[in-house]
Amino acid sequence: MGLLVVLSCGQKSRSSSSDDEEEQEELKLKEYTFSEEKGMAHVSLSMEFPEEGEEELVTAIRQYLANQAELESDEVELDDGQGIIDYYGRNLMNQMEELAGEFVDDEYVNEVYHNWTFKKIYESDDVVTFQNDVELYEGGVHGFYSQYGITFFKDGGKQFSSEMLKDTDSNLFQKLIRDGLRSFFSQPGGNMTDDELAEELIAVEDINNIPLPAVEPYITEDGVTFIYQPYEISYFAAGTPTFTIPLDKMEPFLTNKARKMLDE
């Protein structure tokens, strides 16, 4: 990756055949699903669950999934992928069934649903990134869609987060955000002006001071990805404004700790 090249300049290279370096245990995932339909209520869940791998990494991902499922039961162990998703699914079905009861005589609402997927979208020697996709309809004019990623460092299982960024309110970083959003909203080959961009960002008062997304950034093959949720900075039809900043351009805006973790 570009950042690794930048950070390795002037440093002694490590031997790829070092006898002292232990081989990292491969991360192995298994898909678990839950699907149920009762009358107007529908729930469909799918997640890629770590079965084997480095202990701290596996534990971190499992704990993240348990938190997603709002797991509070001592009856479900952290290593029980099917148990976790079944627990989550049953609770969501109870919510959807209760909600469906409110629309029994509603001629415009014929179903309510909650769908969720958790899948790996990127893996390197240093990190692994997963993507969450949520589809939810609880009545009303339209449903809700959410998408966000989460990156784990393989060494220790720590999550990559906005706390590892710095100077995000600087002019240079704000320009990277504007350029990224311009690329999202522009037509292919188009060249959007700041005024045109401002028309798209209806929830932003000053396009020279655009806040970071509410969800955490995540690492992909192309760099660090930022994603805004529907209504967060733009209108609902805009979806999830997303852009990726290459790692070489992100390097000045990473904390020393983040740079060290990526370099290692």
Q: How confident is the model at residue 107 (pLDDT cuts 50, 70, 90)?
A: confident
- What pLDDT, on a 0 to 100 scale, did the predictor assign at position 3? 43
What is the pLDDT at residue 19?
Answer: 44
Please check whether residue 157 is in contact with residue 126, taking contact to mean a CB–CB distance below 8 angstroms: no
When mean pLDDT is compared across 8-12, 51-55, 59-63, 102-106, the lowest value belongs to 8-12
Q: 146 pLDDT band (50/70/90 cuts)?
A: very high
What is the mean pLDDT of the segment spanning 116-135? 97
Per-residue pLDDT band for 216 (boundaries 50, 70, 90) equals very high
Q: Within 10 A of 142 (CB to CB), how many other CB atoms are there?
A: 9
pLDDT the model gives residue 189? 61
Region 63-92: mean pLDDT is 94
Residue 73 has pLDDT above 80, yes or no: no
Could you give the C-alpha distances from 243 to 101, 177, 218, 247, 258, in angstroms and in order?
40, 8, 11, 13, 20
118: tokens are 């958790």
- Predicted pLDDT at 44: 98
Nearest CA-CA partner of 127 in 143, 148, 150: 150
- The residue ranking higher by pLDDT, 201 or 262, is 201
Averaged pLDDT, 226-240: 95
Lowest-confidence segment of 16-25, 41-50, 73-82, 99-108 by average pLDDT: 16-25
